[in-house]
Chain A
Amino acid sequence: EPEVTQTPSHQVTQMGQEVILRCVPISNHLYFYWYRQILGQKVEFLVSFYNNEISEKSEIFDDQFSVERPDGSNFTLKIRSTKLEDSAMYFCASSATGAGNTIYFGEGSWLTVV
């Protein structure tokens, strides 16, 4: 079964540093997403992306965050000037269409900010 892949699986970074999390969505999917899960809490929507632009974002997704599809296969989440509270599992997901379709999640990237 095709799957969403994410790298790195775990990253430790110093507070104030920039982090880039990478994702390879399922190849024929058109919609891409990032979610965040702080340890012990629920999964929170960050942003959705279609046709090379953001289609929706949450209040969490402020100027500290950005997303990009630099080529035909990768989808990245950049976090600038990381803070301790950015420590979380970040999930990438993709779907064939934007609504009424199964969303497939990657295995997540653990980010620890120290």
Chain B
Amino acid sequence: GIQVEQSPPDLILQEGANSTLRCNFSDSVNNLQWFHQNPWGQLINLFYIPSGTKQNGRLSATTVATERYSLLYISSSQTTDSGVYFCAVSGGFKTIFGAGTRLFVKA
């Protein structure tokens, strides 16, 4: 089955810093989403991005499907950005999540 690897596993930032999170996947996919899981456990949909680049405020994402990776950029990080960021890919009716990047933003 499809394998999803995320890096780094943990990240500590000073408020205001920028960061890049990476997601590698092992096979062609027809769906890729980035989620933020907040401290209350909710999965917040950030981007649906099977290919190309999208931006939403301080966040942007790029997926290069031919090279099987996606990047999530966080600029001017804030303490509210803390939590776990998951990449999830689908090759059919099943969505596979990566292990996540745990981000902590210090004030």
Query: Which residues of A come within 8 Å of B, CB atoms?
Result: 31, 33, 35, 37, 42-45, 48, 50, 55-56, 58, 89, 91, 93, 98-105, 107-108, 110
Rounded to whole angstroms, the CA-CA distance of A89 and B12 in the bound complex is 26
B86 touches A99 (CB 8 A): no
Complex-state Cα separation, A99 to B94, whole angstroms: 9
Cβ-closest chain A residue relative to B4: A42
Chain A residue contacts of B35, Cβ below 8 A: 105
Contact of A89 with B33 in the complex, beta carbons under 8 Å: no
Other-chain residue from A43, A44, A50 in contact with B43 (beta carbon distance below 8 A) = A43
Residues of A within 8 A of B48 (CB): 101-102
Establish whether residues B30 and A42, one from each chain, have CB atoms under 8 Å apart when the complex forms: no
Q: A37-B41, A103-B88 are in contact. List 18 more A-B contacts (CB 8 A).
A: A33-B95, A42-B97, A42-B99, A45-B95, A48-B94, A55-B93, A89-B41, A99-B92, A100-B90, A102-B45, A102-B48, A103-B31, A103-B33, A103-B90, A104-B45, A105-B35, A108-B41, A108-B42
Return the contact of A56 from the options B33, B93, B99, B100 (Cβ within 8 A).
B93
Determine the chain A residues whose CB is within 8 A of the CB of B99 once the complex forms.
42
Q: Which residues in B have their C-beta under 8 angstroms from that of A37? A: 41
Within 8 A of A (CB), among B24-62: 30-31, 33, 35, 41-43, 45, 48, 50
A44 proximity list for chain B (CB < 8 A): 97
- Name the residue on A nearest B91 (C-beta): A99
Query: With contacts A105-B43, A105-B45 known, is A100 near B30, CB below 8 A?
Result: yes
A89 to B39, CA, bound (A): 13
User: Which single residue of chain B is at the shortest CB-CB distance from A58?
Assistant: B94
CA distance A5 to B16 in the complex (A): 34
When chains A and B are docked, how far (Å) is the Cα of A16 from the Cα of B78?
A: 44
B30 with A56: CB separation less than 8 A: no
Task: Name B77-97 residues within 8 Å CB distance of A.
Answer: 86, 88, 90, 92-97
25 A-B contact pairs sorted by A residue (CB < 8 Å): A31-B93, A35-B95, A42-B86, A43-B88, A45-B95, A48-B93, A55-B93, A91-B43, A98-B92, A98-B93, A99-B90, A99-B93, A100-B30, A100-B31, A100-B50, A100-B90, A101-B31, A102-B31, A102-B33, A103-B88, A105-B35, A105-B45, A107-B41, A107-B42, A110-B41
